[in-house]
Structure formats: structure tokens, C-alpha cells
Structure 1
């Protein structure tokens, strides 16, 4: 994790729109990011853990790019139900790189709890009441233990019955996240390669594609040659697409890469859908 004060190219900041708020009051948290337009940044969504604050709504704004520098911002509307005098919040921003991602955190912003009573009177006035109040009965630990055991037993049975489904849902969501990250990186690199075909970008495009297919199929795509990949997929067009990009890497030749990258993207998309079907079929067969 990288703090914004240490980042040289990416600058992020976050702050509450007010210093204090009442219990449960709606308050905004502003998140801003400033970075080179060639970078790809993602802001957290509603799945992020904002505790002890409760997420209500996120409002995003259109990115603004001037002289190669992009500025993004969003407002997160939150509520505080903590009785602590102050709560602190630092939000992350994710930068997508070639094979992994970097995480930047804002400095912690403080939100103070605003109490409804400004002051307590020096002399307390009590209301007289001569009505007898019922005494509280001792806690029934035996009943509590029986209920707790029954709840644990029911949860255990439910988990046993639905564990395969839960695992399948987890795998499916994990693949969807990987696909979104791959698609964002691929479109950015493909566009850059089409604009400026060079060895470094071509190698990065091929490495991204092979690495993603290897994660889907567990096959050694990064070790295979273009002809071996074509044989494994039984698709001669794949060889042509890879070959056109290989010529940039090994021969330093320039050429149009839009058709090749588009075809390789469709191969990755088809393999991704086959992976989802495989997960669905595994769950159905159990």
C-alpha cells in the first residue's frame, strides 16, 4: 500500500465536507485523484468496508484532462452511528498496472460526533414517582445456550447444503473481477500500441494476453510459442494475430495492430465465458 505523500505521479486527497455531524446524519466525503492520463485508476465502490461509517450513496464526476494530467473526483455520502467522539476514514485508489495493481490511501480524515445537548444543567430535576418498578429477573443462561446451539446447528446444516453453491459464486465473482481488470488494461494498451507500435508496448500486450489465458486455463501460455498456442487452440488465425505483434517485438517492424488485438481480445472473451460455464456445470453436477 502506498500513501499519497509518497507517490510521485499519482496524487490523491480525501476530506469530509464538514468537521462534525450528528448521530446518523448524512455527510459527504470528497475523494480526488490527479494522475497522468496514461494511467488507469479505480475508485472504491459500495462493496468497500466504510466501517464504522455506513455507506449511503456515491456521486461521480466527469474526468478532466489538461496537458496530459487527468483529474477525477467523487463524493461518498455516509452516516455515522458510532458513539466515539471522533471517527477517522482513509479511502484507497487503485492503479491498474501490467500484471498487478498499486493501492494509494488518502490521509485519515476526522469526523467529530456532534451531541444534541450543548450542555448539562448544574442542578438535575427528578420527577417524583412512588410506583414500584418490577425487578429484573436473572439472565437464563441455559435457555441462551440452547438457542445458541440451535442457531449454530442450523447454520452448520445450511452451510453443508449450500457450500458448493457458495464456492461457485465466489469463483464466478472472482473471475468477473479479473475480467474487468484485464479488459481495462487491454483496451488501454491496445490503443497505445495502435498509436505508437514499438517493441516495449507489443511485448506488454502479448504478456498481458498470455498471462490472462494462463490464469483461466492453467496452461503454460507464457512458455508456449505462437505456433504452440495456435495448435493448442486449434485456431490458425490466432497464429496470424500473434505473429503480427511478434514482428514488432523481434523484427522491429511497424504495422497496423487493431485487427490482431481485436481478434486476441475475442479469444480471451470466449475463454472467459467458457470458464464461467465450467464453474456453472461443476456446481450443477454436484
Structure 2
């Protein structure tokens, strides 16, 4: 016998025997949404109820069922309620609709399970309308004329600022790496020339005031200015040395005469005849020492 025909005969005989024994096998299934419309992706409750008599084995769909066009979010089941031989089972399925169709139809079945087969009992389809959150766009758009400038706030571009700073830093490091020594020498020479010009102005002024007023204060100021500048050029304690010590260090015995001409005014209060020449000699020593220093700095490897 054909297998399909066998199942049909089996089910017919099974129902017939149930009727003979007075067992009511009528099954009523009801399914409905708790609302008639929902927004896209909104959580919606679908209620599924089934009433059946004694001897029936009813199973509700689980998460493996295809809920298209809906997506199952959660399922809640309730205790069976039996009264006068009729049992009521129910469950609530929480689903979401992601279809853009204006109307979505849905019907969730229950299964009556036998020993070797099962029957599907499906309620009537129910509809769920898609709720739009914006109004329909008109066919012709109307724009409001407005020629007033509207300022737009702009955020400061911190990543660009950091990139620029890093770029300048890398360029600076590269310049220092390749040209650092030359830049340092030029800087030292520039500073030395600046100090020399400042000394020349002070020396000229002090020399003129000493020539006009050859007294102790002007003589002390002139010698102090010379010793201070020579101390800077040679990095030696000229202000602490005596005239003899300065002469020995510079290997210049004639400087003793120049100092004596000025020191006569400082200690004896008497001006000599060779003060202008002594001042010129002291200036020449400073000038020659300065030239030697910047030349040594410029030629340094």
C-alpha cells in the first residue's frame, strides 16, 4: 500500500475510534496581535490560544520556527487551564516587524502530535499595519526664501594642529641634526658681536668722560670696564689680578705703563701726559682679543 494512502487511512480510523469512544477531538485555535499597527522594529505582542479535548497532545512553535516577515524577540507561556474536559493553552510571542510593506499578514500554527505523525492547526491570518513616523512627502516641495547669512559654528581641528606641530618638530630636529654645529657657531658669533658693540659704546663714553674729568671715579670706571670685558673674552679673573699678573698672562710688558698712567689718577690724583695713548692701547688689546675669539669660534670644527 502507498505510504501516503496508509497515513490517510490511519488518521481516518484514529478519529473514528475517538468519536466512537465519546472523545471530542475538536481543536480551536485563535491568534491575534494586541495592536493593529506598529512602527518599524517596534516590539509587538502576538497572542496564540488553543482549546482541545482530552487525549490530544498540542505543541506550540518555538524559536526554531520561521516567523517571517517578523523576528522573534521573546516567548512567554502560561499554565494550562482544564474545565469539563476541555483544556486551554496560551502563549504570547513578542515579535518585531522589519518589513517595509504597508500591511504584514501573520498566522502562527500549533501542532497536534500523534505516535507516528502530526497535524497542523492554523488560526486565521491577522494583519499588522506599518506605522509611519513622518508625514507623506508632497509632490511639490515649497521652499522659504531666505538670503540672510547664517553663521555655522566650526570645531577646532585638533588632529590637524597636532600634525602640524609634529611636522615642525621633525623638521626642526632634522635641521639641528644636520646643521646644529654651524647654527650654534653662528649664534655664538652673533652674541659675541653684540656684546662687543655694547662694550665699544660704553668704552667710548667712559673714555670721553675720563678725558674731560680725569679723577678717581672716572679712572676706576674705565679700568673696571676694561677688566670686566677682558674677563668675559678670556674667562679669567682679570678683576682680581694685579697689573703684573695681567701683564704676565697677556705676555705684554707694555701694558704695565698704560695701567700706570691711569692708576696715577686713581691712587695719586695726578694725571699724566700719555693718558690718551694708554686708553688707545687698552682698547686695542680688547679689540684684538675679540677678533681672535670670533675667529676661533668660526673656525672651530
TM-score (norm 2): 0.45
TM-score (norm 1): 0.48
- Bigger relative contact order (CA 8 A; separation at least 6): 1
Q: Which has the larger radius of gyration?
A: 2
